[in-house]
Structure 1
Amino acid sequence: MKAESWMFVICTIFFALVTPAYWFVTDASAEGGDWTGTSALACATLLAGMVSLYLGFHASRMDARPEDRKDGEIADGAGELGFFPPYSWWPLWCALCFSVITFAVALGLWWMAIIGGVLGFLALMGWVFEYYRGEFAH
């Protein structure tokens, strides 16, 4: 976790240095200057800083992982890595319902957006409660 936090700290420093340089080079203070890139770089600085603070905070409170230790071996990381779900059709149905809603809003067909919203809610509930019933229930 410490390696990841240092990567984001380096990104934060980079964005913090590049943002004022970009503002100066594009002359964003002048009338008609480019504020879009400057504000995007400022947001990237803040987001990278937020992630580095989060990772650094949690890295200081947890035991060192094998990859964080100098004497760590590959075998130290052996064991169960976590739960990996099997295949699922529910994300497909959620994406299709979202595309129907987006298409309906773009065309101004509110009745179609409502139908897509109801079907999307059902698809989302199926995805959320997928492991409570059926073959993969636990």
Structure 2
Amino acid sequence: MKIEAWIFGLTTIFLVLVSPAYWFITDAGTQCGQENCADWTGTSALVMTTLLCAMMTLYLGFHAKRMDARPEDRKDGEIADGAGELGFFPPYSWWPLWCAAALGVIVFAVAVLAWWLVIIGFVLGALAVPGWIYEYYRGEYAH
């Protein structure tokens, strides 16, 4: 995961340079005729993106030091070193669809201020989330 940490690190450095430049450029452009002309939305979005990239850099760098090097991280790694089982990949599932539908009902209800519909969305979510969590404890793919 070293290369991923480097990619996020370089992105963080770029954003550290761009964020104050963006703030200065939008704040210095006071020719719009208003007293406070800064674009706080874009500046805060860039600052939050900088912080998120820094967080990912620290996380990936921390774990890259603690785990064995993957074949793609080693300079002498061969393609054949990565052969074998890569992990468990679940088959198709309908539960994410129902979870998304329940969340969609809740968001729609909040948008149109239909609080009774929020309750229906939470009930649907209370049925869909456990179904998604426990789908491997019953049926064809039970553990």
Question: What TM-score comes out, normalization by structure 1 length?
Answer: 0.94
Alignment correspondent of 1:67 = 72
Shift in Å at residue 48 of structure 1? Answer: 0.5
* Structure 1: segments with no counterpart, 5+ residues: none
Runs of 4+ in structure 1 over 6 Å off: none
Shift in Å at residue 134 of structure 1? Answer: 0.9
Alignment correspondent of 1:94 = 99
Distance 2:97 2:25 in 1: 45
Question: What TM-score comes out, normalization by structure 2 length?
Answer: 0.91
1:113 and 2:122 aligned: no
Q: Could you tell me which amino acid in structure 2 is paired with residue 40 of structure 1?
A: A
Shift in Å at residue 67 of structure 1? Answer: 0.6
Which deviates the most, 9-18 or 31-40?
31-40
* Structure 2: segments with no counterpart, 5+ residues: none
SS of the counterpart of 2:89? coil
Alignment correspondent of 2:5 = 5
1:25 and 2:30 aligned: no
Shift in Å at residue 109 of structure 1? Answer: 2.0
Q: Could you tell me which amino acid in structure 1 is paired with residue 66 of structure 2?
A: R
Per-residue displacement from partner, 1:32-75 (whole Å, max 9, x unpaired)?
31111111111111111110011001111111111111110000
Shift in Å at residue 110 of structure 1? Answer: 1.8
SS of the counterpart of 1:86? coil
C-alpha RMSD over aligned residues: 1.5
User: Aligned to 1:37, which of 39, 42, 48?
Assistant: 42
